[in-house]
Structure 1
Amino acid sequence: MTKNLKVDLPKIHPDLEEARFRNIYMEEDPYLQECAITGDFVENEDVEKLILSKVTFNNATIMDSSFYKVDMTDVIFENCDLSNTNFKEGILYRILFKDCKLMGLDLELANLRHVTFENCKLDMSEFVEADLKPVLFENSSLKSANFYDTKLNKVKFNQCNLEDVDFTETNLNGIDISTCKFEHINVDIKSLKGCIVSSEQAIGFSTLLGLKVKE
């Protein structure tokens, strides 16, 4: 159950030195630690096994880039645009995305531990076969997001837009979507078992069971 979900926030020292994202190329391995990046612009980068530790990104744009197998610990993204960025097979631990544009973000096969998405735009994002525990989606848009065969353990969707989200082959037992809005989502009956929904949502899901609701 996710009623009292506890998601740890990033642990970062308040006084960080300013840096540029391109500082990753100054080391033998792509690596950034204990620094603050503000207003940076990155596009069409391709960096494998990038390591980020205790880093804050504010008003940064990192678009159409690939960071395959990224390893992030204690990182904050605030007011950032990471549209169409690839974090496939990445490890994300104690990460906060706040007020970010994350359309088309690719987290396929990624491991997310203690990750918070707050007031974010995650439309068309990919979580295929990812492993999430615990993760909070707060007041965020996930229209047409793909959670196919995703492991959701201690995951909460609060006041989110789940229109046309794909939960096929994803176990929703204990997952609470009762405060979310949608007219249609893709889900199979087996996956829906144990999902926590509102009474209004339950009427809509009854069609999956072949029921006809009499007014």
Structure 2
Amino acid sequence: MRNEGRRGEVRGQAKRARVVVAARRPGVRLPPLEPYGDGPLEPEGDYDGLEFPGTDLAAQDGTGSRFMDCALTGCALDETRLAHARVYDSRLSGIRGVGTNLADATLRDVELVDARLGGTRMHGAVLERVLVRGGKIDYLNLRGARLRDVVFEGCVLVEPDFAGARLERVEFVDCVLKEADFGAARMKDVDLRRAAELGIARGVERLSGAVISPAQLMELAPVLAAELGVKVAGADD
């Protein structure tokens, strides 16, 4: 009985020590790739084992397309239509664009590296085992999206919109969040402790299921007080 009690105590300590479950990162290993031709993207297209080196895909329509084992490097994606697209086991490096439409898309086992994007529409998208490393994304719309095993690392997110999204095992590592919107979001095992900057414009009350550092708690204290309707004043005020 004593040993059983001791084992239970150890298990309890281990459980308490595991504050948050880490995200599983993608393991993208691309096969030898064939170069993509000069033709435009096609709706419902099927792209498998292709390399897009500096390809200008601006304003093209790839709605509902499938990309499997692909590499997009330095591609222009201004106003590119990729709603409902499926991107699997692929690496997107140095892509750039404004107004790219990835609404309701599915990204699974994807690396997004050094992107320069603005106004990207990803509302309703599904992201699973996705690494976003480096780069800057302005006004990323992830409203109502589902994120599972997603890591934002060393990137800058300006006014990202996570309103109504579901986040599970999501990490923010050495990245900057400016004026993030978490309104009506649902979180589980979301790790914000290593964010280089944590700025929350809306939805601070939705952080249940997230972990923050003591320093971040102090920084967020005014926002939390305002949300709770608490007035902060000195004894002589």
- Calculate the TM-score normalised by the size of structure 1: 0.88
CA distance in 1, matches of 2:44, 2:187: 39
- Distance in structure 2 (CA, Å) of the matches to 1:21 and 1:164: 40
Which protein has the bigger helix share? 2
The CA deviation at 1:12 is: 1.8
Instruction: Give the structure 2 partner of residue 50 of structure 1.
Output: 65
Q: CA deviation at 1:200?
A: 2.5
- Structure 2 counterpart of 1:81, from 93, 96, 107: 96
Larger radius of gyration between Structure 1 and Structure 2: 2
- 1:1-215 to structure 2, matched below 5 A, reads 2=20, 4-13=22-31, 15-20=32-37, 22=39, 24-25=41-42, 29-182=44-197, 184-207=199-222, 208-209=224-225, 210=230, 212=232
Alpha-carbon spacing, 1:102–1:20, altered in 2? closer, same or farther (3 Å): farther
CA RMSD, Structure 1 to Structure 2 (Å): 2.2
Identity of aligned residues (%): 18
How far apart in 2 are the matches of 1:196 and 1:21? 47
- Does the CA-based 8 Å contact 1:63-1:83 persist in structure 2? yes
Q: Deviations over 1:59-117 (max 9, x none)?
A: 21111121110011111111111432011011111111011112221110011111110
Q: How many residues align?
A: 211
Q: Which one has a larger percent strand, Structure 1 or Structure 2?
A: 2
- Which consecutive residues of structure 2, in runs of 5 or more, have no partner in the other structure? 1-18
Q: Is the CA contact 1:41–1:60 (under 8 Å) kept in the aligned structure 2?
A: yes
Unmatched tracts of structure 1, length 5 or more: none
Secondary structure of 1:63's match?
A: coil
**1:23, 1:32 within 8 Å by CA — same for their partners in 2?**
no
Q: After the TM superposition, which of the residue ranges 51-60 and 2-11 deviates more from structure 2?
A: 2-11
Q: CA deviation at 1:205?
A: 2.3
Contact 1:30-1:49 at 8 Å conserved across structures: yes
Using the size of structure 2 for normalisation, the TM-score is 0.80
